[in-house]
């Protein structure tokens, strides 16, 4: 029996969150097996934000732990994808792993994902250089970009928007899903930005001839107070260009 049957019957995709790349003591992949953790050149673990430790994607034990955990969470449930947070990500850490190289870390991240086959994986971190190289794993079906088309900071916004557009186009060309996630949810500067962000996303699709079935938008803007008990979040969803055209015409 599919525990997500009602969700799927409504035409909604179900994705399970996981983070095999950062683990805190209360997290499911945190064990006493020291080989699953990354270490600096003193042999110490590397701790980042939220008391989470950097894990070692080259660890065969970590790959098995993640695979077994996914299996345990899939009993009686069908997931359309497993979300992998902090993939190939060593940003915002106090130090790097001993003898770190971007190429070897990326290769280990690719193998970590491939070890989960045939489970479909969607990774985060398209802002990272060479992150799209994770697409080589056949079971990777997409990636997520944060802060999409939502920044008004100049001149950073222009450069960052170009990066986002290039990623959106490249992911589509490779037949991978491109997920949008806005940052700074609900802040005052984001109010009223939804139509502009949707239209930027759609126009990139149209101008580039992208198959729009491979894009997903997560709308996490705060609703006005008069919205009552309506949900503060909707997504993932796809924007309806005809709806926006009608809105502009009204």
Tokens of 136: 């080589």
pLDDT at 212 over 60: no
Residue range 164-196, pLDDT digits in tens: 888 888 998 999 999 887 654 444 445 555 545
* Secondary structure (3-state) at 45: strand
- pLDDT for position 43: 98
Q: Residue 168 and residue 245: Cα distance in Å, rounded? A: 22
- pLDDT for position 129: 87
Residue range 83-118, pLDDT digits in tens: 999 999 999 999 999 999 999 999 999 999 999 999
Domains and CATH numbers, the chain: 1-143 (3.20.20.80), 147-250 (no CATH)
Whole-structure pTM value: 0.77
Long-range CB contacts for residues 230-234, cutoff 8 Å, separation at least 24: 232/186
Residue range 110-156, pLDDT digits in tens: 999 999 999 999 999 998 989 999 999 999 999 998 866 655 554 55
**Average pLDDT, whole number, for the chain?**
79
- pLDDT for position 185: 45
Tokens of 142: 């997409």
Q: Residue 134 and residue 122: Cα distance in Å, rounded? A: 10
- pLDDT for position 57: 98
């Amino acid at each position: 029996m599919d525990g997500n049957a009602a969700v799927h019957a409504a035409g909604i995709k179900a994705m399970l969150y996981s983070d095999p790349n950062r683990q805190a003591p209360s997290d499911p992949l945190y064990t006493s097996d020291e080989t699953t953790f990354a270490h600096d050149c003193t042999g110490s673990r590397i701790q980042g934000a939220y008391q989470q430790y950097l894990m070692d994607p080259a660890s065969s034990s970590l790959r098995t732990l993640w695979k077994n955990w996914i299996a345990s969470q899939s009993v009686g449930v069908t997931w359309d994808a497993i979300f992998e947070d902090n993939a190939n990500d060593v940003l915002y850490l106090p130090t790097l792993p001993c003898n770190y190289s971007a190429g070897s870390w990326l290769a280990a991240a690719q193998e970590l994902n491939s070890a989960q086959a045939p489970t479909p994986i969607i990774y985060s971190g398209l802002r990272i250089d060479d992150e799209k190289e994770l697409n080589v794993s056949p079971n990777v079906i997409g990636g997520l970009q944060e802060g999409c088309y939502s920044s008004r900071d100049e001149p950073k916004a222009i450069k960052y928007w170009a990066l986002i557009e290039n990623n959106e186009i490249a992911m589509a060309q490779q037949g991978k899903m491109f997920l949008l996630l806005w940052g700074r949810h609900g802040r005052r500067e984001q109010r009223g930005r939804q139509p502009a962000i949707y239209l930027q996303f759609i126009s990139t699709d149209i101008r580039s001839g992208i198959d729009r079935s491979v894009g997903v938008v997560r709308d996490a803007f705060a609703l006005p107070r008069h919205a009552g008990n309506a949900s503060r979040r909707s997504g993932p969803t796809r924007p309806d260009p005809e709806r926006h055209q009608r809105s502009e015409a009204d």
